[in-house]
Amino acid sequence: METTARQLCMAADVESYSRRTTPDQAAVQADLVRVLEEAAVLSGLNRTAWSRQPQGDQELAVLPLDTPEPVVLGDFVRHLARLLGERNANRAENDRLRLRLAIDFGVVPTAALGYSGPTAIAVARYLNAPQLKRVLAAIDTTNLAVIVSDRLYQDIVRSCDQGLDPEQYVSAHIEEKGFHGYGWICVPEHSPDQFRPVIAEAERKPDPVPAPAPTNVVNQTQGGVFHFGSGDAAETMHKNYHR
């Protein structure tokens, strides 16, 4: 019996890409490809074997079946953070290359326009999670914020292989475009205490809005004047009143 292959699926997105000029966008795309390729090489990964779907300021990649998950979550992420730091050194704030990175694994079928199936969708939802965006925006000393799916966290991160430390990840409940699930966010070289409050704030539910006061209340005043409603919407009607 054939078994359905499950593969790592990874997506990277550039922060504030649309605010850049057209030449700067082209330069950022080139730098994004370069840092991803260099991080893969330094981690011993064969990036030429990755099935990639470029999307301007994003790249979705499906990695080969034999890709070691702990290496991707460990060495690759660490090398990517370091390369981004080197690239951004002495750059103006608006010229920095800062990334969100989302990783999951599962069945990723090919389709006419790229990939289909729940794993590709989940990675896109993780990548655009408000918690991840807020963490990257809030910690200006980092160039990379990473989120992994709950199943990757449970199966791989908690194994502590490749220097992975489960304590460096913070759980986030993702609700994005009909997707509901848990992910785990980490920021390389930063303590979870720095971004745990950001995630909590992003997930805080707003206080319920009190119901508006009724506007059809009728109050009688002296002289037989009846007031309907309240404020500017109130109307008055005068009539003879007999007990």
- The pLDDT of residue 225 is 52
Over residues 164-205, the pLDDT tens digits come to 999 999 999 998 777 788 999 999 999 999 999 999 999 887
Same-domain status, 198 and 216: no
Count how many residues are written for the chain. 243
pLDDT exceeds cutoff 90 at 47? yes
Q: Are residues 69 and 158 in the same domain?
A: yes
pTM over 0.85: no
Phi, psi of 3 (to 5 degrees): -105, 145
- pLDDT at position 52 is 92
Of the ranges 38-52, 187-201, 215-229, which one carries the lowest mean pLDDT score? Answer: 215-229
Least confident residue range of 39-48, 105-114, 133-142: 105-114
Structural domain range at position 239: 212-243
Q: To the nearest whole percent, how much of the chain has pLDDT over 90?
A: 66
Per mean pLDDT, which range of 49-53, 85-89, 220-224 is the poorest?
220-224
Query: Are both 22 and 139 inside the same structural domain?
Result: yes
Q: Are residues 164 and 75 in the same domain?
A: yes
Q: Does residue 106 lie in a domain region? A: yes
Handedness of CA 182, 187, 193, 198 (dihedral sign): negative
Residue of higher predicted confidence among 211 and 105: 105
Alpha-carbon span 57 to 128, nearest angstrom:
13
pLDDT tens digit sequence for 52-95: 987 878 999 999 999 999 999 999 999 999 999 999 999 999 89
Domain-located, residue 196: yes
Q: Output the domain CATH number for residue 45.
A: 3.30.70.1230
Residue with tokens 């080969």, as numbered in its chain: 64
How many angstroms separate the CA atoms of 45 and 28, rounded? 23
Q: Which residues contact 1 (CB under 8 A, 6 or more apart)?
A: none
Strand order of the β-sheet with 58-62 is: 51-54, 58-62, 7-14, 99-106, 144-149, 179-186, 170-176
Answer whether residue 57 is part of any domain.
yes
Same domain, 38 and 87: yes
Verify that 237 and 119 share a domain, yes or no: no
150 and 226 belong to one structural domain: no
How many whole angstroms separate alpha carbon 189 and alpha carbon 149? 20
Q: For residue 3, what pLDDT is reported? A: 45
Does the pLDDT value for residue 233 go beyond 60?
no
Q: If you search the block for the tokens 């893969």, which residue do you land on? A: 40
pLDDT at residue number 114: 72
Q: Are residues 105 and 185 in the same domain?
A: yes
Number of domains composing the chain: 2
105 and 224 belong to one structural domain: no
